[in-house]
Amino acid sequence: MSNKDAVPDVATAAVLVRSEGVPGDAQLIRGYDFENGVDYNALLSTYINTGFQATSFGRAVDIINKMRAWRLSDEPVADNDCEEDRDLEYRKGVKCKIFLGYTSNLISSGIRETIKYLVKNSMVDVLVSTAGGVEEDFIKCLAPTYLGDFTLEGRALRSKGLNRIGNLIVPKDNYCKFEDWIVPILDQMLKEQKEDGTVWTPSKVIHRLGKEINHPDSVYYWAYKNNIPVYCPAITDGSLGDMLYFHSYRSPGLVIDVVQDIRAMNTEAVRAKKSGVIILGGGLVKHHICNANLMRNGADYAVFVNTAQEFDGSDAGARPDEAVSWGKIKADAESVKVYAEASLVFPLLVAQTFAKTN
């Protein structure tokens, strides 16, 4: 055979490259076998070895379960531990403090019920959301949100007094009902400020509103009942802000102090023996939780769930490793970002973690 009929050496060398040995503990890629029937627990358990975002989901399950399982008694007693911290029974009762953050659209959606489950059962310790993530919970106690479509025309909806949140529809009347409900409460809060010297903060306002709504469907009713703090540094950025704006004309003088809350929020992190963060979405809630954990040199566990990419330099898009550079997540922390839309993923995460071991 002439040389022109032989495979060129350069092609052989390029394609048939010899592999180095694979480590013996390397995980094999293998998905769920539906020949075994439909078993959702078994299906989700295979995600860790499926690859791509399924593997990220599997890692998130592992990290959340580690957050939940950790106890101070797992750690050796430190030389600088106080007398109480040295007591074994006390150490067995000290858990990882879990911060849960979520954007307002998730409360507008059915994820509200998943969050309510966690709060009702005291499975998380600190909540952080936006103004919309607070007000929409109360509004849904007063009137329902409906399923619509992403393609509904804005002009037509506006003429009918209907607001669109993605493929959800909220009638304008819902916000009128919200105003009717909240204005008397704001009046009473102003009265208590003037007569009793009450200093209102966003978290105290939310605590009070959770008490006043007195509704078992409400996330913040259960936060009030279980004394779980809710921080909302941008409390004026939504319908709550609209109500405060109008109230400032009708009955001027109500003051909401954000400085007390930033001290309280940062103290939550500083005093945590172990800190875990679960953040759904990005923006304010993601940064507020991570920045509080900077005060303790970083969180010990972190799970991010969002669809944002990092190429634009946004905080929402940043991977956990960027937070490590700032000291917001510890260098040796267990962390993962799941690139996925939270309404798809979060109920499954809860099913494999909090709900499974409740």
Q: How many CB atoms lie within 10 A of CB 28?
A: 6
Buried/exposed code over 253-277 (b: 16+ C-beta within 10 A; e: otherwise): ebebebeebbebbbebbeebbbbbb
Phi-psi bin for 130: left (phi > 0), alpha (psi -120 to 50), beta?
beta
Would you list the DSSP string of 106-134? HHHSTHHHHHHHHHHTT--SEEE--HHHH
Give all strands of the β-sheet with 126-128 in edge-to-edge order.
230-231, 126-128, 97-102, 275-280, 299-306, 329-339
* DSSP β-bridge partners for residue 126: 99
Helix (H, G, I), strand (E, B) or coil at 292: helix
Where do runs of H (alpha helix) occur along the chain? 9-15, 40-45, 52-69, 83-86, 88-93, 104-108, 111-120, 131-142, 154-159, 172-196, 202-213, 219-225, 239-250, 258-270, 284-294, 320-326, 342-351
- Could you identify the residue written with the tokens 């002439």? 2
Catalytic sites, residue numbers: 328
Helix (H, G, I), strand (E, B) or coil at 163: strand
